[in-house]
Structure 1
Amino acid sequence: MKFKAIKGHQGIGMEVKDVTYVETARWGKHRGWRYVLGLAVIFFVGLVVGGIATPRIAFLFGGQEGFAAFNRLDYAAFGPVGGFVAVTAIFPFFLAGILIAVTLVHRRHPRTLITARERISWRRVGQGFVAWFVPFWLIAGLGQYFFYPDTFSFNFDLATFALFVPLALVFTAIQTTTEELFFRGYIMQGASIVWANRVFLALVPATIFALAHLLNPEASAGGWLTVFFNYFLAPGLVWTVVSLIDGTTELAIGAHFANNIGGSLLVGVAGNAVNAPTLFTVSKFHATYTALSMLVVVPVFLAIAYKVFKSDEASEPVFLNARIGRR
């Protein structure tokens, strides 16, 4: 599969063709120590500042009992809506840390974590959403009903669902975008400073992405098969490769949102990391089926993304005032 790139401009009056978002890492200040400092900033804001703030958010939901429940990781005590917010409330802080690191430490626009263009193509983000949502939730999600109908239950509550939908859209978008900006954006760009080999660049974020999700209950329930297929191969490696192919993370951002919003609104698994008030609940996680379904989902995703939809041509060129160099 051919690797493409986005045409852009780098520096003042100096045109550089075939610039991908990965190469924009060199548009700002990019010495190795800055990536170490950037990671420290991201984890400080996300874990320390967020760790101080999120229990206070839990207190607003449930008072002193909510504060105590949050400290013992008993998210079920907040109910399905409050529990979802309690789990995902940490991500705005991680997002803030990423934006601070890129802007202040590396002195470049946060948009360069997504694209080398002047503007983000929301059309391509939408295409990524459709390309993943359709095959994944038809095959890996509702497709399970034909094999395991007894494990499905319909639990629609109009009042709860109406309250939950806007919260799910906002917090899921923040969560998935934050993860994309970090794994396939910041980590990928940092790895490119070490070695620009495309195989290396594909493996590093995919491996770290899989390792970061090992604590999810479904990962431990499914064992190595689930970890390999559902985290490392798809979406970890697949979304990383398509980001390298596109030269942007737009497709991956849309696909990641499609993956998680379906798990928040359509089909949930009992005992999952986030127990949201989904339309359907599966009483048992079918690890083998979910993993093997990726063998069908991934080719269909790629076919929709690159055959049904066409990737955008380069839009307006990028102009950066910062000089290039190791500073």
Structure 2
Amino acid sequence: MKMQNTERKKEIIAEAKKVTYVEAARWGKHRGWRYVLGLVVIFFVGLVVNGITVPRVAFLLGGQEALAAINRLDYAALGLVGGFVAFRASFLFFLAGILIAVPLIHQRHPRTLVTAREKISWRRVGHGFVAWFVPVWLIAGLGQYFFYPDTFSFNFDLTTFALFVPIALIVVAIQTTTEELFFRGYIVQGASIVWSNRVFLALVPAVIFALAHLLNPEASAGGWLTVFINYFLVPGLVWTVVSLIDGTTELAIGVHFANNIGGNLLMGVAGSAVTGSAVTAPTLFTVSKFHATYTALSMLVVVPVFLAIAYKVFKPDGVSEPISQSYRHERR
């Protein structure tokens, strides 16, 4: 009996390893028009409902002055915490749109945007966080200090920083997880209905991710080099390829959070999209000038170090059982 159980466990693990989150796109109801409708729902909640709700909440909390600040996009007028949250409020609504669209339109669990298994491996998410946080902030962050020390300023305020940290952790986690569920999850799954070719699946979210960030201040300051390396190549293409190889978006979720939380707590560039063009997060260090060439070239070193840590230092977890076959409905 024990031998039979062992063999059964091996069969389950083998099956689970073969099933990826991309294949989960074909579970539930998955005709192409459903993905189009899903995008409509996500953007309606993320843009329209957000646009109606946030100004009203601002008015309730801060009166006419807060409402006027929201209308003119002057988030700094709402204060450090209020401005930081309001600047990223749309991500909460986009997340709500995703959590509505997947179960309602596709009739499958939102977890399938992350993994095809019964449970998300938070350990693997942690692997992604560490594997990216260490090289990016040592090479791209500390390395920048050695080359451009005059642009760095230390502005630590213990009271402000201590109050800001828990808020930043929650808000940034919502922001980065939402982006991963959308770009690496929903977009990749929708694209796989059109064509399952992995090169195609890697390029589609990379292009869309880069286009979505063209209005960021860094894109204007860094030009084509920043757009290509810092948006299209990394994170757009690299993080997607890693997700396709892993068969889950767990690593990418951890990586994205590590990238952005460092920019909000450790080192921020004045006027950047990470800290907020109108809201400066109380980072430990502030860089007065965005060094596009160094930042872009440092990514060419960060990526291989990240891959070495993610796949050589850390090992993928043993997998849980694949999701029940009851999720796999016919195409409708």
TM over 0.5: yes
2:275 is aligned with 1:270: no
Give the SS at the match of 2:18: strand
Following the alignment from structure 2 to structure 1, what is the Cα–Cα distance between the partners of residues 194 and 34? Answer: 13
Residue number in structure 2 paired with 1:205: 205
CA contact (8 A) 2:16 2:320 kept: no
| Offset of residue 324 of structure 1 | 3.0
Question: Alignment partner of 1:153: what SS?
Answer: strand
Change (3 A) 1:35 1:295: same
Contact kept in structure 2, 1:59 and 1:66, CA below 8 Å: yes
Q: Distance in 1 between matches of 2:208 and 2:12?
A: 29
Distance 1:294 1:76 in 2: 31
Please, which moves more after superposition, 176-185 or 270-279? Answer: 270-279
Tell me: CA distance 1:132–1:60, structure 2 relative to 1, closer, same or farther (3 Å): farther
Question: What is the CA–CA distance in structure 1 between the aligned matches of 2:109 and 2:43, rounded to whole Å?
Answer: 20
Provide closer, same or farther for how the CA distance between residues 8 and 235 of structure 1 changes in structure 2, counting only shifts above 3 A.
Answer: farther
Q: Matched residue of 1:268: which SS?
A: strand
Instruction: Give the secondary structure class of the aligned counterpart of 1:314.
Output: coil
1:27, distance to aligned residue in structure 2 (A):
0.7
Farther-moved stretch of structure 1 (176-185 vs 159-168): 159-168
Q: 1:217·1:272 contact (CA, 8 Å) conserved in 2?
A: yes
Which residue number in structure 2 is paired with residue 39 of structure 1?
39
Contact 1:8 1:18 survives alignment (8 Å):
no
In 1: Cα distance, 2:138 partner to 2:225 partner: 21
Q: How does 1:113-132 map to 2 (within 5 A)?
A: 113-132=113-132
Report the counterpart of residue 297 of structure 1 in structure 2. 302
Instruction: Give 1:166 shift.
Output: 0.6
- Aligned residue identity for 2:55: P
Which residue number in structure 2 is paired with residue 3 of structure 1? none
Moved more, 276-285 or 81-90: 81-90
In 2 relative to 1, CA 269–62 (structure 1 residues): closer, same or farther, beyond 3 Å? Answer: farther
RMSD (CA atoms): 1.6
- Tell me which protein shows more helix as a share of its residues: 2
- After superposition, residues 178-197 of structure 1 pair within 5 angstroms as 178-197=178-197
- For the 8 Å contact 1:88–1:175, the answer to whether it is kept is yes
Contact 1:154/1:279 (8 A) holds in 2: yes
The yes-or-no answer on 1:59 pairing with 2:86 is no
The match for 1:284 among 258, 280, 289 is 289
**1:83 counterpart = 2:83:** yes
Alpha-carbon distance in 1 for matches of 2:246, 2:44 = 32
**Aligned-partner SS, 1:281:** strand
Unaligned runs of 5+ residues in structure 1 are 1-6, 10-14
Shift in alpha-carbon separation, 1:181–1:326, aligned structure 2, 3 A: same
Of 58-67 and 152-161, deviating more is 58-67
Question: How many residue pairs get matched?
Answer: 316
**Is the 2:16–2:117 Cα contact (8 Å) retained in structure 1?**
no
Aligned to 2:5: none
Which TM-score applies when normalising by structure 2?
0.92
Does 2:321 align with 1:316? yes
Mapped to 2, the partners of 1:306 and 1:62 lie a distance apart of 49
Q: Percent identity?
A: 83
Task: Kindly provide the amino acid, as one letter, of the partner of residue 279 in structure 1.
Answer: L
1:57/1:162 CA distance change after superposition, 3 Å = farther
**Which range is displaced more, 151-160 or 99-108?**
151-160
By how many angstroms is 1:311 displaced?
1.2
**2:312 matched to which residue of 1?**
307
Counterpart of 1:4 in structure 2 is none
Q: CA deviation at 1:143?
A: 1.6
- Aligned counterparts of 1:131 and 1:16: Cα–Cα separation in 2: 24
Worse overlay, 171-180 or 308-317: 308-317
SS in 2 for 1:222: helix
